[in-house]
Amino acid sequence: KDAERAIKIAKNNLENAKSVFTAYSREIFNRKSSDVNLLRIIDSCTLRSGTTVPTAIEKNNGDVPYLKVADMNMSENDPFIITSTRFFNITDTKDNWIIPNGSVIFPKRGGAIFTNKKRLTVVPVCLDLNIMAVIPKKEILPEYLYFYFLGTDLASISNGSSIPQINNYSLDPLLISVPKSLDSQRKIVNDLKLLFENTKALESIYAEKLAVFENLKKSVLNKAFRGEL
């Protein structure tokens, strides 16, 4: 019973740690006051989907990273997209293939939506058809937009069909509270960075404790089963 109680407490602490960032960011991005604008994402950003490109021009190295959803999992690409497993030479690309740096990207089709991965590009990239990009206009800092999407559940805006998808119209209802001052946005970004890092550190501590308690419970049960207690 003591092990079960410890596991329950650790699970609650883990869930509470995860909810801290979400609750704070929800408050920030839904704030209403005279110093902020409440903007629709579809009006204040450009929405772009990836494209299919000829496999013949794909290379192991090149000027432009070509990203598929799996490439978002690369350790070098968390949270900022800087590389890929495939590339193009810039001379082989078309202008409308290129997604500029400062774009928030995430999976837009299939089970990958439920991973809730979001990344921020810091170099120009090309995306495949299973990734969407949201490109902020000048009134929104890219990192501010990134933190907004970090607190957005992608599953909640997918169409919920047998193969979930996120399309441009999926973002129609999304509103973002944006400080009119870019300096104010930068301050919020810095605060969110610090909170995010601290929250992740707490999550790591509680996850480790939970693993210890669950292993302890298994060990006790195994000993009881063998009649060693």
* Lowest mean pLDDT segment, chosen from 27-36, 41-50, 60-69, 160-169: 160-169
CA distances from 159 to 81, 112, 163, 227 (A): 27, 14, 9, 53
CA distances from 37 to 40, 59, 108, 179, 185 (A): 10, 44, 27, 6, 12
Q: How confident is the model at residue 87 (pLDDT cuts 50, 70, 90)?
A: very high
pLDDT at site 53: 87
Q: How many CB atoms lie within 10 A of CB 4?
A: 11
* Residue 64 contacts residue 105 (beta carbons within 8 Å): no
Q: How confident is the model at residue 117 (pLDDT cuts 50, 70, 90)?
A: very high
pLDDT at site 209: 72
Once rounded to an integer, what is the mean pLDDT over residues 126-145? 96
Burial class (CB in 10 A: 0-12, 13-18, 19+), 225: exposed
* Alpha carbons 6 and 89: distance in angstroms, whole number: 55
pLDDT at site 216: 63
Tell me the pLDDT tens digit for each residue of 38-64: 999 999 999 999 998 889 999 999 999
- Coil, helix or strand at residue 133: strand
Once rounded to an integer, what is the mean pLDDT over residues 177-189? 96
Closest CA to 186 of 133, 128, 146: 146
Alpha helices of the chain — where are they, by DSSP H?
2-29, 41-44, 142-150, 154-157, 182-225
pLDDT at site 196: 85
- Please give the share of the chain, as a percent, with pLDDT higher than 90: 65
Once rounded to an integer, what is the mean pLDDT over residues 57-80? 94
DSSP code of 165? B
DSSP code of 172? T
Terminal alpha carbon distance of the chain: 15
Once rounded to an integer, what is the mean pLDDT over residues 191-220? 76
DSSP string, 69-114: GGGGGSGGGSSEE---S-EE-GGGS-GGGEEPSS-EEEE-BGGGGG
Listed in sequence order, the residues at least 6 apart from 70 whose beta carbon sits closer than 8 Å to its beta carbon are 85
